[in-house]
Amino acid sequence: MSLQVDAARLTHELQVLATFSAAPAPAVTRVVFTEPDRAARAYVRSLCTAAGLSLREDAVGNLFARWAGEDPSLPAVCTGSHIDAIPNAGMYDGTVGVLGALEAIRALQATGLRPRRSIELLMFTSEEPTRFGIGCLGSRLLSGLTDAGAASRLRDRDGATLDDARQAAGFTGTVADVALPPGQYTAFVELHIEQGPLLEQRGIGLGLVTAIAAPASLRVTIDGEGGHAGAVLMPARRDAFLAGAEIALAVEAAARSTDAIDTVATTGVCHVFPGAVNSVPSRCELEVDVRDIDEGRRDAVLARVETACVDVAARRRVSVTTQVVNADPPARCDAAVVDALTASCVDAGFACEPMISRAYHDALFMSRVAPTGMLFIPCRAGVSHRPDEYAAPEDIARGVHVLALALARLAS
Ligand code: GLV
Ligand code: MN
Ligand code: MN
């Protein structure tokens, strides 16, 4: 198959997509259902329509763009990723797997191929946990792991429910209908930047993911006693933030205690109430992220953090409540899909190597409902979730080329 990936077109589209942002360039902030997210969705829809794909959106805004195969009754081959971006992020996380998948479909269309199975681009809603505190919201619901009842209890920091937010964005369908019926897809493949340094360090252009690490997150709420920063004397204090600071250090210590390089933990959110320089913090809310490729070890870290919370609460005379927002199992990629990706690398003459994904992806949840694989491309210095995230056009084009070959193979 003589396949032409239009790297210049794809680079241009990634750059246009990056302009839909609540942060000044080069930073990208695109939180689900905010104005930049809605404008970015409209842009992606327009590109998919121009490529002749037929579009469908579900009740939470997952977008399905289908290139019909010769036999549309067969389970389709699915590919895709997300376009939402955490605060102060870069322009490649997720977007490469959406616009790259579209470019792969267009490159296949240009060869004159008519696939036997349909090929569907799936753009997932809210892979990032920024707004509702839980990652991979769209794919979780598609997989059926999270149900409509749990989704309806989600709220953002301003108290808006998921239902309020999705309906305001024009997604008014029934959340209970989002879960995919069994056997919908014969395979799912996600193209993504590595978000780590290994491919670049090893000089290898493509990584074939064999497993995805198990993510968990914890919300910790500390209630102490506020008061005047001048008048409340130190022995009388029940400072909620200082308790939170100790808990954040305990999170770090818990991750380090495993002595395993694969255990990581982060306290990435800390809200202090009332947030005035001359007021003792009365309340502190933390959001903690814990991951490991070993689920048991990850759970042991969560348990250590819970123990530390009890200890800090007693010593500092504050109340600490914890809520496990999610504690997901790791995923294994499907051998046949990995084989299809490997064969596609060989066909194209590109070197590749197997690897673990330490970041989570919608593929983690799609693996529950479809045989799943992931293709990684290098990103500069492994940097991600930062404005200086960068993937070279030739590396993106290589990933798109292999994705296209793999989609054709899986759809044949
Ligand atoms: C995905 O964005 C992750 O945090 O792994
Ligand atoms: Mn991300
Ligand atoms: Mn991502």
Average pLDDT over residues 143-162: 95
- Dump pLDDT digits (tens) for 195-218: 999 999 999 999 999 999 999 999
Structure confidence at residue 43 as a pLDDT band (50, 70, 90): very high
Tokens of 306: 């819970």
pLDDT of residue 106: 98
Q: What's CA 363's distance to the chain center, in Å?
A: 9
The answer on 311 and 175 residing in a single domain is no
Tell me the C-alpha distance between 404 and 412, whole Å.
12
The answer on 381 and 301 residing in a single domain is no
Residue among 398, 409, 349, 394 at smallest CA distance from 375: 398
The answer on 40 and 24 residing in a single domain is yes
Tell me the C-alpha distance between 289 and 185, whole Å.
31
20 to each of 24, 26, 38, 169, how far by Cα in Å? 10, 11, 9, 15
Are the beta carbons of 325 and 218 closer than 8 angstroms?
yes
Tell me the C-alpha distance between 410 and 402, whole Å.
12
The answer on 344 and 281 residing in a single domain is no
320 lies in some domain: yes
Average pLDDT score over the chain: 97
Task: State how many domains the chain has.
Answer: 2
CATH classification at residue 55: 3.40.630.10
pLDDT of residue 400: 98
1 lies in some domain: no
Query: Domain boundary at 277, 312, 327, which?
Result: 327
Q: How far apart are the first and last CA of the chain?
A: 13
CA of 361 to the centre of ligand 2 (A): 8
The burial of 259, by beta-carbon neighbours within 10 Å (0-12 exposed, 13-18 middle, 19 or more buried), is given as exposed
The answer on 206 and 107 residing in a single domain is yes
Q: Is 1's pLDDT higher than 90?
A: no
CA of 94 to the centre of ligand 2 (A): 7
pLDDT of residue 26: 97
345 lies in some domain: yes
381 to each of 194, 203, 219, 351, 360, how far by Cα in Å? 10, 12, 31, 19, 19
Average pLDDT over residues 222-249: 98
Tell me the C-alpha distance between 407 and 340, whole Å.
9
The answer on 158 and 142 residing in a single domain is yes
2 lies in some domain: no
338 lies in some domain: yes
The residue whose CA is least distant from atom 5 of ligand 1 is: 359
Residues in contact with ligand 1 by the CB-under-6-Å rule are 128, 135, 359-360
List all residues 6 or more positions away from 75 whose beta carbon is below 8 Å from its beta carbon: 117, 183, 184, 185, 186
Count the Cβ atoms, other than its own, within 10 Å of residue 124. 30
Q: Which stretches does DSSP call E strand in 83-226?
A: 85-89, 119-124, 185-193, 206-212, 214-223
Q: Is 310's pLDDT higher than 80?
A: yes
147 lies in some domain: yes
pTM: 0.95
Q: Is 274's pLDDT higher than 90?
A: yes
The answer on 205 and 149 residing in a single domain is yes
The answer on 236 and 203 residing in a single domain is no
| Type of residue at 268 | G
Query: Domain boundary at 300, 327, 354, which?
Result: 327
302 lies in some domain: yes
The answer on 276 and 251 residing in a single domain is yes
Tell me the C-alpha distance between 285 and 119, whole Å.
44
Pocket test for ligand 1, best of 190, 269, 361, 364 (most atoms within 8 A of CB): 361
The answer on 191 and 46 residing in a single domain is yes
CA of 280 to the centre of ligand 1 (A): 34
The answer on 88 and 192 residing in a single domain is yes
Which ligand gives the minimal distance to the CA of 384? 2
The answer on 224 and 197 residing in a single domain is no
- Dump pLDDT digits (tens) for 350-401: 999 999 999 999 999 999 999 999 999 999 999 999 999 999 999 999 999 9
pLDDT of residue 334: 98
Query: Domain boundary at 327, 361, 395, which?
Result: 327
Which ligand gives the minimal distance to the CA of 359? 1
Give the range of the structural domain holding residue 231, as residue numbers without chain letter: 214-327
CATH classification at residue 221: 3.30.70.360
280 to each of 244, 268, 322, how far by Cα in Å? 13, 22, 22
pLDDT of residue 23: 98
